Amino acid sequence: MKNSILLELSVEELQELIGSTVKKNVADLQKELQSKKFTEELLTREETCKFLKIDSSTLWSYTNKGKVKSYAIGARRYYKRSELLESLTLLKNRNNE
């Protein structure tokens, strides 16, 4: 049955079908890569505090306790957005217990 569909298509129609499918798949892949690139973004201390809506002393405490990982280049500290998201924990709603 699949072969009969191909026989009914002209060469131009087949090329257009293949081209549109490839374009869609490439666009989907680009979106996926961009979202991964966004989550792998390195944040400064200040950006991390804004992202988590916490004070710098709280970030320092979380880092020292190992709740979040930091990376260093010289005296500068950076945090991976993806790891910050992974460090968030879901709390149980007391009304649902």
Identify the domain containing residue 66 by its residue range.
41-87
Q: Which tens digit of pLDDT belongs to each residue from 28-73?
A: 777 776 666 665 789 999 999 999 999 999 999 999 999 999 999 9
Residue-level pLDDT at 30: 74
- With a CB cutoff of 8 Å and minimum separation 6, the contacts of 51 are 43, 81, 84
51 belongs to a structural domain:
yes
d(CA 42, CA 45): 10
95 belongs to a structural domain:
no
92 belongs to a structural domain:
no
Same domain, 11 and 27: yes
Q: Pick the more confident residue, 45 or 5.
A: 45
Same domain, 45 and 78: yes
Counted domains in the chain: 2
Average pLDDT, the chain: 83
Same domain, 12 and 32: yes
Residue-level pLDDT at 1: 45
